[in-house]
Amino acid sequence: MSHLLEVKNLGKTYRPRKAWPWSQKSVAIEPISFHIDAGETLAVMGETGSGKSTLAKIIAGVDNPSSGELWLNGQKLHNQHYQQRCHNIRMIFQDSENSLNTHLTLRKQLEEPLKFNTNLTAQERNEKIDIALRRVGMLTEHGEFYPHMLSSGQKQRVCIARAIILEPQIVVADEALVGLDPSVRAQIINLMLDLQQDMGISYILVTHSPQIVKHIADKILILYRGKMIVFDKTDIVLGDDQQPYVHQLLHDHLNKQIKFKSDKAKKIAD
Amino acid sequence: MQLLDIRNLTVEMKTPHGIVRVLDKVNLQLGKGEIHSLVGESGSGKSLLAKAIVGFTNPNWEVTADRLWWNGQDLLAMNTKQRRAVTGRDMAMIFQDPYSYLDPNSTVEQQIVEAIPEGDVRGTFMRRRVDRKTRVKRLLHRVGIRDHESVIDSYPFELSQGVAQKVSIAIAIAHRPRLLIADEPTTAMEPSTKLQIHRLLARLAASQEMSVLLISQDLTSILPETKQLTLLYCGQLMETGPAEEVINHPAHPYTDSMLRMSLQTQQELPHKARLPTLPGAIPTLRHMPIGCRLGPRCPYAQKQCVKAPLATQKQQRVFHCHFPLLELES
């Protein structure tokens, strides 16, 4: 059986700006292979400079790999074939404040991916936008709003709506949950889980929060200076105490929890 | 005596849509060498409170308070010059994104030298240069940068985020302030870097008798050494008291839901289960609800909540709620 996305020997090297033809290239990612299935969440972890954002960009098609191939449902993904990529893999960025165009209403922003990638009529496009807005918990009237009229949580919702409007199979989220308020973050996590259940989306989640990884990831991929050191199911990685680096990255922060026992509050809630 | 004593601090902003009360009767007490955490979501006025303390205000804000005392002196009664002298001598502040607060055009050494008070440096002309350099090295060691040689001549863009934040802390403590205000110093940092900065702040507070007012977005990312904890929501004080008690026995529904929303406290929650969260969004400045501002989002809200609740005091804890989760023995 073929997997949803199969990454084979994917590598990325950069050539330094001032370099001789024979001088060594700097390696961002050494050739790595992994796969994910439909409806799964893969968490990519690692410290700064470990190549996790580069990996996310290559999968989303923003950047080209130096070597290796991407296979989706047994079909090869071509580097410059953006329509194919957009229909299947979409991306959410870290800073929702800056990833929306301030000059366009939300309806126009959501219309753009449809205009570029589909042959729908104007009316069909509008219907799709309404469905996408309602799916992320907003009103269809919000379509006439400009980004500055929304709160940060709503902006993040619009970014998610823009990602799912083409009904992709994979959504790549690059640090999409960093810097949000606790209540907004919990809402966005719930929304992402709901969408996964309803539409069967797979997520590739680049993050450094061990708590979020433990809660929503099915598989974990850990990068260290461009090398893949772990790729396995979440419970196996969390159960494994062998690798010191994994321990430092995950366990130290998971075990550090604050005490919490509000019996009274639980009684009232029941 | 308290080092910083704030009673009923109110900040009103003049906007095109009328006057908005962005901070509503906030109380805060801070002792010598104490770590005080101020927690609130965005728009809760926590940075505004910090700005009001250091006198970093805008002409169209109106700051009033029953008491805004620093070390026994009334800050509001001073003129600008006196206030700046007090603030410059005794207080320092660090911010969220170190790269945007460090000067990109000068090296780390030049920036730290600027912050060292002229009175500290002794000796003749050449001696002073050497003295300054040793002071810079000593400051870098104090903030936990062992390898000062590689950092001292770097420009901010060459540093990692953690080191850059440490450099900005070094600049802040160069004149030995008695109060350090840290405005979300670790948001958007990796967990290990975050831990380092937290340990550094705790060590500085303990060794230099410096009080720290740590502003944070998340209740779970406060320092374990925190003595007092204050929660703000939309400019209103929700709950304040000794940190351990507040976290273990929250009295206010807001404290309770802040704790429930974080994944750190929900260890036994099944994989991929939905998280408990407050419904709705944080209100904007123009649409503040009357009474208790948490009202529309609060799971326990009832009719009475349209009136702002008065403070309830129980031992060292104060909370503003009509329906607290804590049983009151009367």
What is the per-residue pLDDT across A183-198, written as a single tens digit (0 to 9) for each? 888 888 888 898 888 8
What is the predicted pLDDT for the residue at A63?
84
Query: Which range (A156-160, A170-174, B243-247) has the least confidence?
Result: B243-247
What is the predicted pLDDT for the residue at A266?
43
Q: Rounded to whole angstroms, how far apart are CA atoms A170 and A163?
A: 10
What is the per-residue pLDDT across B217-228, written as a single tens digit (0 to 9) for each? 888 777 777 888
B281 and A248 within 8 Å at the Cβ level: the answer is: no
Facing residue for B248 by CB, picked from A151, A234, A261: A261
B41 and A183 within 8 Å at the Cβ level: the answer is: yes
If pLDDT is split at 50, 70 and 90, which confidence band does A182 have? confident
How many CB atoms are located within 10 Å of the residue B126 CB?
8
Residue A79 near residue A72, CB atoms below 8 Å: no
Phi and psi, residue B253, nearest 5°:
-55, -30
* Overall average pLDDT of the A14-37 stretch: 81
Q: Chain A window 161-190: which residues touch B at a Cβ cutoff of 8 Å? A: 178-179, 181-187, 189-190
In terms of Cβ atoms closer than 10 Å to its own Cβ (0-12, 13-18, 19+), residue B36 is buried
What is the predicted pLDDT for the residue at A267?
41
Angstroms from B2 CA to nearest CA on chain A? 28
Angstroms from A78 CA to nearest CA on chain B? 33
Higher-pLDDT residue of A105 and A260 is A105
Angstroms from B71 CA to nearest CA on chain A? 33
What is the predicted pLDDT for the residue at B112?
92
Average pLDDT, chain A: 82
Domain residue spans of chain B: 4-105+155-266+276-313
B190 and A208 within 8 Å at the Cβ level: the answer is: yes
* Overall average pLDDT of the A213-226 stretch: 86
What is the per-residue pLDDT across A105-132, written as a single tens digit (0 to 9) for each? 999 999 988 988 888 899 999 998 998 9
Residue A40 near residue A50, CB atoms below 8 Å: no
What is the predicted pLDDT for the residue at A251?
66
pLDDT score of A263 more than 60: no
Angstroms from B323 CA to nearest CA on chain A? 11
Q: How far is CA B296 from the centre of its chain?
A: 27
What is the predicted pLDDT for the residue at A270?
39
What is the per-residue pLDDT across B97-126, written as a single tens digit (0 to 9) for each? 888 889 999 999 999 999 998 888 888 888
Q: Rounded to whole angstroms, how far apart are CA atoms A189 and B98?
A: 28
B188 and A179 within 8 Å at the Cβ level: the answer is: yes
* Token pair of B104 as six digits: 């990109």
Q: Which of A181, A46, A93, A259 has its CA nearest to residue B192?
A: A46
Low-confidence residues in chain B, pLDDT < 50 = 330
Q: Rounded to whole angstroms, how far apart are CA atoms A103 and A106?
A: 10
Strand partners, B289: none
What is the predicted pLDDT for the residue at A268?
41
Its ipTM equals 0.81
Domain residue spans of chain A: 5-269
Class of domain A5-269: alpha beta
Q: Rounded to whole angstroms, how far apart are CA atoms A144 and A129?
A: 12
Mutation target vs A (from B37, B215, B234, B272; most A CBs, 10 A cutoff): B272
What is the predicted pLDDT for the residue at A252?
64
* Token pair of B155 as six digits: 């420009």
Architecture category of domain B4-105+155-266+276-313 in CATH: 3-Layer(aba) Sandwich (3.40)
* Overall average pLDDT of the A135-144 stretch: 85
What is the predicted pLDDT for the residue at A255?
59
Q: Which DSSP state fits B281? A: -
What is the predicted pLDDT for the residue at A254?
65
How many CB atoms are located within 10 Å of the residue A135 CB?
18
Q: Which of B101, B69, B93 has its CA nearest to residue B83?
A: B69
Per the listing, tokens 């159960």 go with A239
What is the predicted pLDDT for the residue at A269?
44
For helices A106-117 and A152-164, the axis angle rounded to 10 degrees is: 20
- Within 8 A of B234 by CB-CB distance, chain A residues are none
Residue A80's contacts (CB-CB under 8 Å, 6 or more residues apart) are none
B267 and A184 within 8 Å at the Cβ level: the answer is: no
